[in-house]
Chain A
Amino acid sequence: MIEFTYARASDPSHALLLGAAQDARFLGGGTNLVDLMRETVERPRELVDVTGLASGIEETASGGLRIGAATRNTALAEHPLVRSRYPVLSRAVLAGASAQIRNMATVAGNLLQRTRCSYFYDEDGSRCNKRAPGQGCDALEGLNRGHAILGASDACVAVHPSDMCVALAVLDATVEIEGAEGTRQIAFADFHRLPGDTPHAETLLQPGELITAIELPPLSNEARSAYRKVRDRSSYAFALVSVAAVLRLEGGTIAEARVALGGVAHKPWRAAKAEAILIGQAPSPELFRRAADAELTQARPLRDNGFKIELAARTITAVLSDIAGDAA
Protein backbone atom coordinates (compact mmCIF):
# COMPACT_ATOMS: atom_id res chain seq x y z
CA MET A 1 0.00 0.00 0.00
CA ILE A 2 1.23 3.49 -0.72
CA GLU A 3 0.93 6.13 1.98
CA PHE A 4 -2.37 7.92 2.48
CA THR A 5 -4.23 10.01 5.01
CA TYR A 6 -7.58 9.15 6.60
CA ALA A 7 -10.47 11.38 7.64
CA ARG A 8 -14.08 10.82 8.62
CA ALA A 9 -16.76 12.91 6.93
CA SER A 10 -19.32 14.34 9.33
CA ASP A 11 -21.96 15.14 6.68
CA PRO A 12 -22.30 15.08 2.86
CA SER A 13 -20.93 18.60 2.34
CA HIS A 14 -17.92 17.78 4.51
CA ALA A 15 -17.43 14.62 2.43
CA LEU A 16 -17.58 16.61 -0.82
CA LEU A 17 -15.06 19.10 0.51
CA LEU A 18 -12.60 16.40 1.55
CA GLY A 19 -13.35 14.32 -1.55
CA ALA A 20 -12.51 17.20 -3.88
CA ALA A 21 -8.79 16.80 -3.18
CA GLN A 22 -6.80 15.17 -5.94
CA ASP A 23 -6.39 11.41 -5.45
CA ALA A 24 -8.97 11.39 -2.64
CA ARG A 25 -11.37 8.45 -2.48
CA PHE A 26 -14.45 7.74 -0.43
CA LEU A 27 -14.22 4.74 1.85
CA GLY A 28 -17.20 2.51 2.62
CA GLY A 29 -16.63 -0.79 4.35
CA GLY A 30 -13.29 -1.06 2.57
CA THR A 31 -13.86 -4.67 1.54
CA ASN A 32 -12.97 -3.88 -2.07
CA LEU A 33 -10.95 -0.67 -1.84
CA VAL A 34 -8.57 -1.80 0.94
CA ASP A 35 -7.96 -5.08 -0.90
CA LEU A 36 -7.15 -3.25 -4.15
CA MET A 37 -4.95 -0.73 -2.32
CA ARG A 38 -2.94 -3.58 -0.85
CA GLU A 39 -2.44 -4.88 -4.42
CA THR A 40 -1.52 -1.29 -5.47
CA VAL A 41 -4.20 -1.44 -8.14
CA GLU A 42 -5.83 1.49 -6.34
CA ARG A 43 -3.54 4.25 -5.10
CA PRO A 44 -5.52 6.96 -3.32
CA ARG A 45 -3.57 9.49 -1.25
CA GLU A 46 -6.53 10.39 0.93
CA LEU A 47 -9.36 8.24 2.23
CA VAL A 48 -12.59 9.92 3.24
CA ASP A 49 -14.63 7.56 5.41
CA VAL A 50 -18.31 8.04 4.55
CA THR A 51 -19.76 5.22 6.64
CA GLY A 52 -20.97 7.75 9.22
CA LEU A 53 -23.34 9.32 6.67
CA ALA A 54 -26.91 8.33 5.79
CA SER A 55 -27.54 4.70 6.62
CA GLY A 56 -31.31 4.66 7.12
CA ILE A 57 -34.03 2.97 5.08
CA GLU A 58 -37.20 5.02 4.77
CA GLU A 59 -40.47 4.88 2.87
CA THR A 60 -40.85 7.57 0.23
CA ALA A 61 -43.97 9.63 -0.44
CA SER A 62 -44.69 7.55 -3.55
CA GLY A 63 -44.64 4.31 -1.56
CA GLY A 64 -41.14 3.26 -2.55
CA LEU A 65 -38.00 3.04 -0.42
CA ARG A 66 -35.02 5.31 0.02
CA ILE A 67 -31.90 3.45 1.08
CA GLY A 68 -29.03 5.50 2.52
CA ALA A 69 -25.74 4.93 0.70
CA ALA A 70 -23.93 3.85 3.88
CA THR A 71 -26.49 1.17 4.77
CA ARG A 72 -24.61 -2.06 5.39
CA ASN A 73 -25.50 -5.00 3.14
CA THR A 74 -26.68 -7.03 6.16
CA ALA A 75 -29.00 -4.26 7.33
CA LEU A 76 -30.44 -3.94 3.82
CA ALA A 77 -31.11 -7.66 3.42
CA GLU A 78 -32.76 -8.07 6.81
CA HIS A 79 -34.90 -4.92 6.78
CA PRO A 80 -38.60 -5.87 7.15
CA LEU A 81 -39.77 -3.61 4.29
CA VAL A 82 -37.12 -4.97 1.93
CA ARG A 83 -37.94 -8.55 2.85
CA SER A 84 -41.68 -8.08 2.42
CA ARG A 85 -41.85 -5.72 -0.56
CA TYR A 86 -38.61 -6.32 -2.48
CA PRO A 87 -37.69 -9.92 -1.65
CA VAL A 88 -35.56 -10.15 -4.81
CA LEU A 89 -33.25 -7.54 -3.29
CA SER A 90 -32.90 -9.37 0.03
CA ARG A 91 -32.24 -12.59 -1.86
CA ALA A 92 -29.59 -11.06 -4.10
CA VAL A 93 -27.72 -9.45 -1.20
CA LEU A 94 -27.81 -12.68 0.82
CA ALA A 95 -26.41 -14.59 -2.16
CA GLY A 96 -23.28 -12.44 -2.14
CA ALA A 97 -19.97 -12.74 -0.30
CA SER A 98 -20.08 -13.91 3.35
CA ALA A 99 -21.83 -12.71 6.50
CA GLN A 100 -18.65 -10.96 7.65
CA ILE A 101 -18.28 -9.09 4.36
CA ARG A 102 -21.98 -8.19 4.23
CA ASN A 103 -21.66 -6.74 7.74
CA MET A 104 -18.89 -4.45 6.48
CA ALA A 105 -19.99 -3.64 2.94
CA THR A 106 -22.10 -0.57 2.20
CA VAL A 107 -24.69 -0.16 -0.54
CA ALA A 108 -22.66 2.50 -2.40
CA GLY A 109 -19.50 0.40 -2.12
CA ASN A 110 -21.31 -2.62 -3.51
CA LEU A 111 -22.45 -0.55 -6.51
CA LEU A 112 -18.89 0.61 -7.17
CA GLN A 113 -17.06 -2.63 -6.48
CA ARG A 114 -14.62 -3.43 -9.26
CA THR A 115 -14.27 -6.49 -11.41
CA ARG A 116 -12.62 -9.67 -10.09
CA CYS A 117 -10.76 -10.25 -13.39
CA SER A 118 -7.45 -11.69 -12.19
CA TYR A 119 -5.42 -9.74 -14.76
CA PHE A 120 -6.91 -6.55 -13.39
CA TYR A 121 -5.65 -7.55 -9.93
CA ASP A 122 -2.19 -8.55 -11.20
CA GLU A 123 -0.71 -5.07 -11.07
CA ASP A 124 2.90 -5.91 -11.90
CA GLY A 125 2.49 -8.93 -14.18
CA SER A 126 -0.42 -8.52 -16.62
CA ARG A 127 -1.70 -6.12 -19.22
CA CYS A 128 -5.08 -4.58 -18.45
CA ASN A 129 -6.84 -1.67 -20.18
CA LYS A 130 -9.05 -1.09 -17.17
CA ARG A 131 -6.11 -0.65 -14.81
CA ALA A 132 -3.77 1.01 -17.32
CA PRO A 133 -5.67 2.42 -20.33
CA GLY A 134 -4.01 1.49 -23.63
CA GLN A 135 -1.97 -1.36 -22.20
CA GLY A 136 -3.96 -4.19 -23.79
CA CYS A 137 -6.12 -6.93 -22.29
CA ASP A 138 -4.59 -10.23 -21.25
CA ALA A 139 -8.02 -11.79 -20.64
CA LEU A 140 -8.97 -11.67 -24.34
CA GLU A 141 -6.67 -14.60 -25.15
CA GLY A 142 -6.16 -15.76 -21.57
CA LEU A 143 -8.14 -17.44 -18.82
CA ASN A 144 -11.60 -16.02 -19.43
CA ARG A 145 -14.01 -18.58 -18.04
CA GLY A 146 -15.53 -15.99 -15.70
CA HIS A 147 -15.71 -13.24 -18.28
CA ALA A 148 -18.42 -11.53 -20.32
CA ILE A 149 -20.62 -12.98 -23.06
CA LEU A 150 -22.69 -9.82 -23.59
CA GLY A 151 -21.76 -6.23 -24.41
CA ALA A 152 -17.99 -6.71 -24.23
CA SER A 153 -15.41 -4.99 -26.43
CA ASP A 154 -11.92 -5.78 -27.70
CA ALA A 155 -10.65 -3.47 -24.99
CA CYS A 156 -12.22 -5.35 -22.04
CA VAL A 157 -14.24 -8.50 -21.43
CA ALA A 158 -14.59 -8.17 -17.64
CA VAL A 159 -17.86 -8.60 -15.74
CA HIS A 160 -19.42 -6.60 -12.93
CA PRO A 161 -19.39 -9.00 -9.99
CA SER A 162 -22.25 -7.68 -7.85
CA ASP A 163 -25.34 -9.67 -6.92
CA MET A 164 -27.16 -6.75 -5.28
CA CYS A 165 -26.91 -4.70 -8.47
CA VAL A 166 -28.72 -7.33 -10.53
CA ALA A 167 -31.73 -6.91 -8.25
CA LEU A 168 -31.48 -3.10 -8.37
CA ALA A 169 -31.47 -3.31 -12.17
CA VAL A 170 -34.68 -5.30 -12.24
CA LEU A 171 -36.31 -3.00 -9.67
CA ASP A 172 -35.70 0.14 -11.81
CA ALA A 173 -33.85 1.84 -8.96
CA THR A 174 -32.35 5.31 -9.19
CA VAL A 175 -28.99 6.41 -7.82
CA GLU A 176 -28.89 9.71 -5.95
CA ILE A 177 -25.64 11.61 -6.30
CA GLU A 178 -24.30 14.76 -4.70
CA GLY A 179 -21.57 16.83 -6.26
CA ALA A 180 -20.21 20.35 -6.34
CA GLU A 181 -23.14 21.36 -8.57
CA GLY A 182 -25.84 19.91 -6.34
CA THR A 183 -27.89 16.73 -6.38
CA ARG A 184 -28.75 14.60 -9.39
CA GLN A 185 -30.47 11.28 -10.03
CA ILE A 186 -29.33 8.61 -12.48
CA ALA A 187 -31.52 5.71 -13.59
CA PHE A 188 -29.87 2.50 -12.45
CA ALA A 189 -29.79 1.10 -16.00
CA ASP A 190 -27.61 4.05 -17.08
CA PHE A 191 -25.35 4.16 -14.02
CA HIS A 192 -22.86 1.48 -15.06
CA ARG A 193 -21.27 1.66 -18.50
CA LEU A 194 -20.31 -0.91 -21.10
CA PRO A 195 -16.54 -1.08 -21.66
CA GLY A 196 -16.30 0.25 -25.22
CA ASP A 197 -12.88 1.85 -25.70
CA THR A 198 -12.77 3.19 -22.15
CA PRO A 199 -13.13 0.28 -19.73
CA HIS A 200 -11.56 2.35 -16.93
CA ALA A 201 -14.65 4.60 -16.94
CA GLU A 202 -17.07 2.21 -15.26
CA THR A 203 -19.95 4.44 -14.23
CA LEU A 204 -21.37 7.90 -14.85
CA LEU A 205 -20.08 9.04 -11.45
CA GLN A 206 -17.58 11.91 -11.80
CA PRO A 207 -14.48 12.25 -9.61
CA GLY A 208 -15.40 13.73 -6.24
CA GLU A 209 -19.09 12.92 -6.55
CA LEU A 210 -20.74 11.16 -3.63
CA ILE A 211 -23.50 8.58 -3.80
CA THR A 212 -26.01 9.47 -1.09
CA ALA A 213 -28.91 7.07 -1.64
CA ILE A 214 -30.64 4.49 -3.80
CA GLU A 215 -34.34 4.91 -4.43
CA LEU A 216 -36.70 2.08 -5.28
CA PRO A 217 -40.03 2.86 -6.95
CA PRO A 218 -43.03 1.02 -5.50
CA LEU A 219 -43.52 -2.54 -6.74
CA SER A 220 -47.07 -3.72 -7.39
CA ASN A 221 -48.45 -6.09 -4.75
CA GLU A 222 -49.32 -8.51 -7.54
CA ALA A 223 -45.76 -8.63 -8.87
CA ARG A 224 -43.66 -11.65 -7.94
CA SER A 225 -39.90 -11.74 -8.05
CA ALA A 226 -36.97 -14.11 -7.63
CA TYR A 227 -33.18 -14.24 -7.75
CA ARG A 228 -31.06 -17.24 -8.64
CA LYS A 229 -27.29 -17.41 -8.62
CA VAL A 230 -25.26 -20.18 -10.26
CA ARG A 231 -21.69 -20.59 -9.05
CA ASP A 232 -18.89 -23.11 -8.64
CA ARG A 233 -19.67 -23.82 -4.99
CA SER A 234 -22.87 -23.30 -3.06
CA SER A 235 -21.72 -20.32 -1.00
CA TYR A 236 -19.02 -17.62 -0.79
CA ALA A 237 -18.30 -17.53 -4.52
CA PHE A 238 -19.02 -15.03 -7.27
CA ALA A 239 -21.73 -15.74 -9.84
CA LEU A 240 -21.02 -17.51 -13.11
CA VAL A 241 -24.50 -16.45 -14.10
CA SER A 242 -27.28 -14.96 -12.03
CA VAL A 243 -30.83 -13.93 -12.88
CA ALA A 244 -33.22 -11.52 -11.18
CA ALA A 245 -36.76 -11.31 -12.50
CA VAL A 246 -40.08 -9.66 -11.76
CA LEU A 247 -43.33 -10.90 -13.31
CA ARG A 248 -46.88 -9.66 -12.97
CA LEU A 249 -49.69 -11.73 -14.43
CA GLU A 250 -53.11 -10.35 -15.25
CA GLY A 251 -55.93 -12.58 -16.42
CA GLY A 252 -53.61 -15.34 -17.58
CA THR A 253 -51.15 -13.18 -19.50
CA ILE A 254 -47.94 -11.43 -18.58
CA ALA A 255 -48.67 -7.78 -17.87
CA GLU A 256 -45.20 -6.88 -16.62
CA ALA A 257 -41.86 -8.62 -17.13
CA ARG A 258 -38.43 -7.50 -16.04
CA VAL A 259 -35.33 -9.64 -16.28
CA ALA A 260 -31.70 -8.85 -15.44
CA LEU A 261 -28.53 -10.95 -15.64
CA GLY A 262 -25.40 -10.91 -13.52
CA GLY A 263 -21.97 -12.39 -14.19
CA VAL A 264 -22.29 -12.01 -17.95
CA ALA A 265 -21.46 -8.39 -18.75
CA HIS A 266 -19.53 -5.30 -17.70
CA LYS A 267 -22.73 -4.05 -16.06
CA PRO A 268 -25.87 -5.62 -14.60
CA TRP A 269 -27.60 -6.65 -17.83
CA ARG A 270 -31.27 -5.78 -18.40
CA ALA A 271 -32.62 -8.36 -20.81
CA ALA A 272 -34.82 -6.02 -22.85
CA LYS A 273 -35.16 -8.40 -25.80
CA ALA A 274 -36.40 -11.17 -23.52
CA GLU A 275 -38.83 -8.80 -21.82
CA ALA A 276 -40.30 -7.77 -25.19
CA ILE A 277 -41.04 -11.40 -26.05
CA LEU A 278 -42.76 -12.03 -22.69
CA ILE A 279 -45.16 -9.09 -22.54
CA GLY A 280 -48.78 -9.88 -23.35
CA GLN A 281 -48.18 -13.64 -23.69
CA ALA A 282 -49.49 -16.56 -21.67
CA PRO A 283 -46.68 -17.85 -19.44
CA SER A 284 -45.15 -21.23 -20.33
CA PRO A 285 -41.70 -22.81 -20.11
CA GLU A 286 -41.52 -22.73 -23.93
CA LEU A 287 -42.21 -19.00 -23.98
CA PHE A 288 -39.59 -18.43 -21.29
CA ARG A 289 -36.98 -20.36 -23.22
CA ARG A 290 -37.84 -18.45 -26.41
CA ALA A 291 -37.43 -15.16 -24.54
CA ALA A 292 -34.07 -16.29 -23.14
CA ASP A 293 -32.85 -17.34 -26.59
CA ALA A 294 -33.95 -14.00 -28.07
CA GLU A 295 -31.76 -12.22 -25.54
CA LEU A 296 -28.80 -14.50 -25.99
CA THR A 297 -28.58 -14.41 -29.80
CA GLN A 298 -26.34 -11.38 -29.25
CA ALA A 299 -24.03 -13.33 -26.91
CA ARG A 300 -20.40 -13.73 -28.01
CA PRO A 301 -18.43 -16.48 -26.27
CA LEU A 302 -14.71 -16.27 -25.49
CA ARG A 303 -12.36 -19.27 -25.41
CA ASP A 304 -13.40 -20.57 -21.99
CA ASN A 305 -16.89 -19.22 -21.29
CA GLY A 306 -19.17 -20.57 -24.04
CA PHE A 307 -21.01 -22.61 -21.40
CA LYS A 308 -22.40 -19.39 -19.96
CA ILE A 309 -24.78 -18.95 -22.92
CA GLU A 310 -26.71 -22.17 -22.33
CA LEU A 311 -26.39 -21.70 -18.55
CA ALA A 312 -27.92 -18.23 -18.81
CA ALA A 313 -30.73 -19.48 -21.05
CA ARG A 314 -31.59 -22.29 -18.66
CA THR A 315 -31.36 -20.08 -15.59
CA ILE A 316 -33.67 -17.46 -17.12
CA THR A 317 -36.15 -20.19 -18.03
CA ALA A 318 -35.98 -21.76 -14.57
CA VAL A 319 -36.38 -18.48 -12.67
CA LEU A 320 -39.35 -17.36 -14.76
CA SER A 321 -40.94 -20.80 -14.41
CA ASP A 322 -40.47 -20.66 -10.63
CA ILE A 323 -42.11 -17.26 -10.44
CA ALA A 324 -45.01 -18.18 -12.72
CA GLY A 325 -45.57 -21.37 -10.71
CA ASP A 326 -48.82 -23.09 -11.58
CA ALA A 327 -49.72 -20.39 -14.09
CA ALA A 328 -47.04 -21.61 -16.52
Chain B
Amino acid sequence: MALTVNGAPVPVPTDPRVSLLDLLRERLDLTGTKKGCNQGACGACTVLLDGERVLSCLTLAVQADGRSVTTIEGLVEGAMHPLQQAFIEHDGFQCGYCTPGQICSAVAMVEEWRRGSPSNVTQDLADSAIELTHDELRERMSGNLCRCGAHNGIVDAIVATYVTEGAR
Protein backbone atom coordinates (compact mmCIF):
# COMPACT_ATOMS: atom_id res chain seq x y z
CA MET B 1 0.00 0.00 0.00
CA ALA B 2 1.77 3.14 -1.23
CA LEU B 3 1.16 6.32 -3.13
CA THR B 4 3.64 8.53 -4.90
CA VAL B 5 4.12 12.08 -3.65
CA ASN B 6 6.19 14.36 -5.85
CA GLY B 7 7.87 11.31 -7.35
CA ALA B 8 8.73 9.52 -4.11
CA PRO B 9 6.86 6.48 -2.75
CA VAL B 10 5.04 7.06 0.53
CA PRO B 11 3.30 4.35 2.56
CA VAL B 12 -0.47 4.69 2.98
CA PRO B 13 -1.29 5.54 6.62
CA THR B 14 -2.72 2.61 8.55
CA ASP B 15 -5.62 4.70 9.88
CA PRO B 16 -7.96 5.34 6.92
CA ARG B 17 -9.30 8.48 8.62
CA VAL B 18 -6.17 10.42 7.65
CA SER B 19 -6.97 12.83 4.84
CA LEU B 20 -4.53 13.34 2.01
CA LEU B 21 -4.15 16.92 3.26
CA ASP B 22 -3.16 15.82 6.77
CA LEU B 23 -0.80 13.20 5.37
CA LEU B 24 0.97 15.88 3.34
CA ARG B 25 1.13 18.55 6.00
CA GLU B 26 1.47 16.68 9.26
CA ARG B 27 3.28 13.47 8.35
CA LEU B 28 5.36 14.44 5.31
CA ASP B 29 5.99 18.03 6.36
CA LEU B 30 4.88 19.28 2.94
CA THR B 31 3.25 22.38 4.37
CA GLY B 32 2.91 24.23 1.07
CA THR B 33 -0.58 22.75 0.66
CA LYS B 34 -2.90 24.74 2.92
CA LYS B 35 -5.91 23.90 5.07
CA GLY B 36 -8.48 26.66 4.69
CA CYS B 37 -11.93 25.26 5.42
CA ASN B 38 -11.37 21.49 5.54
CA GLN B 39 -14.81 21.06 3.94
CA GLY B 40 -14.39 21.55 0.22
CA ALA B 41 -15.38 25.19 0.10
CA CYS B 42 -12.17 27.16 -0.52
CA GLY B 43 -9.65 25.33 -2.74
CA ALA B 44 -6.58 26.11 -0.57
CA CYS B 45 -5.82 22.38 -0.36
CA THR B 46 -5.82 21.79 -4.13
CA VAL B 47 -3.23 19.24 -5.32
CA LEU B 48 -2.84 17.20 -8.50
CA LEU B 49 -3.90 13.55 -8.36
CA ASP B 50 -2.67 11.71 -11.47
CA GLY B 51 -2.46 15.18 -13.01
CA GLU B 52 -6.04 16.25 -12.21
CA ARG B 53 -6.79 18.96 -9.64
CA VAL B 54 -8.61 17.68 -6.57
CA LEU B 55 -9.26 18.81 -3.00
CA SER B 56 -6.91 17.01 -0.61
CA CYS B 57 -9.13 17.84 2.40
CA LEU B 58 -11.98 15.70 1.05
CA THR B 59 -9.68 12.93 -0.21
CA LEU B 60 -8.77 10.16 2.20
CA ALA B 61 -5.08 9.33 1.86
CA VAL B 62 -6.04 5.70 1.31
CA GLN B 63 -8.08 6.72 -1.76
CA ALA B 64 -4.79 7.81 -3.33
CA ASP B 65 -3.25 4.36 -2.88
CA GLY B 66 -1.43 3.43 -6.10
CA ARG B 67 -1.82 6.94 -7.50
CA SER B 68 0.49 9.88 -7.99
CA VAL B 69 0.18 13.16 -6.07
CA THR B 70 1.87 16.42 -7.05
CA THR B 71 1.92 19.32 -4.59
CA ILE B 72 3.23 22.85 -4.94
CA GLU B 73 6.63 21.59 -3.77
CA GLY B 74 6.64 19.11 -6.65
CA LEU B 75 6.10 21.80 -9.29
CA VAL B 76 9.58 23.18 -8.64
CA GLU B 77 12.08 21.49 -10.92
CA GLY B 78 15.40 23.15 -10.14
CA ALA B 79 14.01 26.60 -10.80
CA MET B 80 10.63 27.93 -9.82
CA HIS B 81 7.69 26.94 -12.00
CA PRO B 82 7.02 29.67 -14.61
CA LEU B 83 3.61 30.28 -13.06
CA GLN B 84 5.16 30.79 -9.62
CA GLN B 85 7.48 33.38 -11.13
CA ALA B 86 4.52 35.05 -12.84
CA PHE B 87 2.58 35.23 -9.54
CA ILE B 88 5.50 37.22 -8.12
CA GLU B 89 5.76 39.49 -11.14
CA HIS B 90 2.01 40.20 -11.31
CA ASP B 91 1.24 40.52 -7.57
CA GLY B 92 -0.84 37.35 -7.63
CA PHE B 93 -1.06 37.28 -3.83
CA GLN B 94 -1.06 39.30 -0.65
CA CYS B 95 -0.93 36.98 2.37
CA GLY B 96 -0.09 33.99 0.16
CA TYR B 97 -2.33 31.52 1.95
CA CYS B 98 -4.41 30.61 -1.10
CA THR B 99 -1.43 30.75 -3.49
CA PRO B 100 -0.23 27.10 -3.56
CA GLY B 101 -3.82 26.01 -4.23
CA GLN B 102 -4.26 28.70 -6.89
CA ILE B 103 -1.08 27.62 -8.68
CA CYS B 104 -1.77 23.87 -8.59
CA SER B 105 -5.33 24.58 -9.71
CA ALA B 106 -4.21 26.79 -12.61
CA VAL B 107 -1.64 24.25 -13.85
CA ALA B 108 -4.38 21.61 -14.18
CA MET B 109 -6.97 24.12 -15.39
CA VAL B 110 -4.78 24.88 -18.40
CA GLU B 111 -4.59 21.17 -19.25
CA GLU B 112 -8.42 20.92 -19.04
CA TRP B 113 -8.73 23.91 -21.33
CA ARG B 114 -6.18 22.51 -23.81
CA ARG B 115 -8.04 19.23 -24.13
CA GLY B 116 -11.23 21.18 -24.94
CA SER B 117 -13.12 20.75 -21.69
CA PRO B 118 -16.02 23.26 -21.57
CA SER B 119 -17.00 25.42 -18.59
CA ASN B 120 -20.23 26.93 -17.30
CA VAL B 121 -19.63 30.10 -19.33
CA THR B 122 -18.65 28.40 -22.61
CA GLN B 123 -21.06 29.78 -25.24
CA ASP B 124 -20.96 26.85 -27.65
CA LEU B 125 -20.51 23.34 -26.27
CA ALA B 126 -19.48 22.15 -29.76
CA ASP B 127 -16.55 24.57 -29.84
CA SER B 128 -13.34 22.55 -30.10
CA ALA B 129 -11.02 25.53 -29.58
CA ILE B 130 -12.51 27.47 -26.67
CA GLU B 131 -10.77 30.78 -26.12
CA LEU B 132 -9.43 31.34 -22.60
CA THR B 133 -11.14 34.70 -22.12
CA HIS B 134 -11.18 36.44 -18.75
CA ASP B 135 -14.71 35.15 -18.16
CA GLU B 136 -13.61 31.60 -18.94
CA LEU B 137 -10.56 31.92 -16.77
CA ARG B 138 -12.43 33.32 -13.78
CA GLU B 139 -15.13 30.66 -14.01
CA ARG B 140 -12.54 27.87 -14.33
CA MET B 141 -10.66 29.22 -11.30
CA SER B 142 -13.79 29.82 -9.19
CA GLY B 143 -12.99 26.83 -6.98
CA ASN B 144 -10.10 28.77 -5.45
CA LEU B 145 -11.15 31.59 -3.17
CA CYS B 146 -8.81 34.43 -2.18
CA ARG B 147 -9.73 36.31 0.96
CA CYS B 148 -7.21 39.04 0.13
CA GLY B 149 -8.88 39.75 -3.20
CA ALA B 150 -5.73 39.24 -5.26
CA HIS B 151 -7.82 37.97 -8.17
CA ASN B 152 -6.74 40.55 -10.71
CA GLY B 153 -3.09 39.66 -10.17
CA ILE B 154 -3.88 35.95 -10.25
CA VAL B 155 -5.67 36.30 -13.58
CA ASP B 156 -2.82 38.42 -14.97
CA ALA B 157 -0.23 35.84 -13.92
CA ILE B 158 -2.12 33.00 -15.56
CA VAL B 159 -2.75 35.01 -18.72
CA ALA B 160 0.91 36.05 -18.93
CA THR B 161 2.08 32.46 -18.52
CA TYR B 162 -0.34 30.57 -20.73
CA VAL B 163 -2.24 32.92 -22.99
CA THR B 164 -0.14 35.94 -23.98
CA GLU B 165 3.17 34.14 -24.18
CA GLY B 166 1.70 30.92 -25.52
CA ALA B 167 2.38 27.45 -24.18
CA ARG B 168 5.43 27.54 -21.99
Contact = CB atoms under 8 A, between A and B. Distances in A.
B54 A1 contact: no
Contacts of A84: 125-126
Interface in A85-99: 87, 90-91, 94-95, 97-99
7 contacts: A5-B16, A49-B63, A94-B118, A99-B105, A99-B119, A100-B46, A234-B142
Which of B108, B125, B144 has most A Cβ within 10 Å? B125
Interface of A: 1, 3-6, 8, 27, 29-31, 34-35, 38, 47, 49, 51, 74, 77-78, 83-84, 87, 90-91, 94-95, 97-101, 103-104, 234-236
Which 6 residue pairs spanning A and B have beta carbons closest together? A98-B143, A235-B142, A6-B16, A83-B125, A94-B120, A78-B117
B55 to A, nearest CB: 5
A77 B118 contact: yes
Contacts of B139: 234-235
Interface string B109-130: 1001001111110100110000
Interface in B26-56: 38-40, 43, 46, 52-55
Contacts of A91: 120, 125
A98 B126 contact: no
B142 A30 contact: no
A30 B118 contact: no
Which of B55, B62, B118, B140 has most A Cβ within 10 Å? B55
A222 to B, nearest CB: 17
Contact of B143 (A4, A35, A101): A101
B119 A35 contact: no
A83 B143 contact: no
Contacts of A29: 58
A235 B120 contact: yes
Chain B contact-residue range equals: 35 or more
Contacts of A51: 63
B60 interface: yes
Contact of A104 (B19, B58, B109): B58
Contacts of A100: 43, 46, 53-55, 105, 143
Given A87-B125, A100-B43, A78 B142 contact: no
Given A6-B16, A30-B63, A31-B55, A78 B40 contact: no
Contact of B40 (A90, A101, A234): A101
A99 B125 contact: no
Contacts of B65: 8
A1 B17 CA distance: 7
Contacts of A83: 118, 125-126
Which of A27, A34, A38, A83 has most B Cβ within 10 Å? A34
Nearest to B117: A78
Interface in B49-85: 52-55, 58-60, 62-63, 65
Given A38-B38, A78-B116, A90 B125 contact: yes
A29 to B, nearest CB: 8
A3 B53 contact: no
Contacts of B144: 98
B59 A104 contact: yes
Nearest to A94: B120
Nearest to B104: A100
B140 A99 contact: yes
Contacts of B60: 6, 30, 34, 47
Contact of A31 (B16, B40, B120): B40
B116 to A, nearest CB: 7
B94 to A, nearest CB: 21
Nearest to B39: A35
A87 B118 CA distance: 11
Contact of A99 (B53, B138, B145): B53
A103 B65 CA distance: 17
Contacts of A6: 16, 60, 62
